[in-house]
Amino acid sequence: MSGLLALLDDVAALAKVAAASLDDVAAQAVKAGTKAAGVVIDDTAVTPKYVHGFEAKRELPIIGRIALGSLKNKLLILLPAALLLSSFLPGAVTPLLMVGGAYLCFEGAEKLFHVLLPHTDPEVEEDFDVRDPAHLEEEKVAGAIKTDFILSAEIMTIALAAIPSPSFWMQALTLAIVGIGITVAVYGAVALIVKMDDIGLFLARRGRLSLTRATGRGLVVGMPKLMAVLSTVGTAAMLWVGGSIIIHGLEELGWGWLGHHIHDWSVALGHAVPAATGFAEWATKAALDGIFGAALGLALIPVATRFIGPVWARLIARRA
């Protein structure tokens, strides 16, 4: 009897350890996902453009195909690559993270540049009516999955850097949860955004109450404005996250003067606003990180468009 009780105690102890481990995984997944929030916002803002111009009945299937491709990117390619880097080349994580941050700065600055100095794209896209819709859909889905790969790589690298767990399997499980959770959140939000105008139109036409019909009309009218706001927020998030990644990476590599100055300025401004010290510090740091990200991104535009882009195009042409 005493042996059975001892066994039950051991089982209970193991159950407690397992529960604690699951709690740790969940907590680390939330922390890692929060760190990647800026890229997630941008991913949510970017994706709806890939269903623009298609029939309403094709919108959700297209989003579903992109979401499936995103899951494959994260779980089958990026997760093993991240774990291998963490195990065998941990020193490469920070430089790779900085490369991704530089890409975010470039993308955000390019969008900012187009807003401040709008110009016509010399390549005019062919009309949807004169192209095979199925072929066009394949191209759009493939392009979206390629873009998602870059953003997903950044998300997984940020998440990996935020996970302190020394256990390989704990790290793997946490990254998998982050990858699945973020994919569901992003593409669930995208699906809701894309179909919101259809929901509004349905309510406006078939709502039994005047309030319901008014809500539907408000959704139809408000969705373009929401998309514009979402695009702006996504651009700001790219610059903020990209800039903060570069600054933090410089600190990790021993060049911390910029990060220290930004920290000191943020603290000073926070003390100047006693009623909202914490928010003032955060907002100041985010703004300064974003300004740095915009400056770096603008400096990278000629490098990317005149050197990296043409070299990459030639390499792709040779392989083809």
pLDDT tens digits, 191-249: 888 888 788 888 888 877 888 888 888 888 887 787 777 778 778 888 888 898 899 88
pLDDT, residue 285, reads 92
pLDDT, residue 159, reads 75
Backbone angles phi, psi at 121, to 5 degrees: -75, 125
Tens-place pLDDT, residues 208-223: 788 888 888 888 888 7
Q: What is this structure's pTM? A: 0.69
DSSP result, 27-62:
HHHHHHHHHTHHHHHHHHHHGGGGGTTS-HHHHHHH
pLDDT, residue 312, reads 67
pLDDT, residue 227, reads 74
Burial class of 275 by CB neighbour count within 10 A (0 to 12, 13 to 18, 19+): exposed
* Domain positions in the chain: 2-120+130-319
Binned average pLDDT, 10 residues per bin, the chain of 320 residues? 42 38 48 54 63 73 89 90 83 83 86 75 46 75 79 77 69 83 85 82 82 84 79 81 89 90 92 87 92 94 82 65
Q: For the chain, what percentages of helix, strand and coil (3-state, to nearest 5) are there?
A: 90, 0, 10
One-letter amino acid at 203 equals L
pLDDT, residue 1, reads 46
Picking from 209, 195, 186, the residue whose alpha carbon sits closest to that of residue 66 is 186
One-letter amino acid at 305 equals T
pLDDT, residue 12, reads 40
- CA 204 – CA 199 distance, rounded (Å): 9
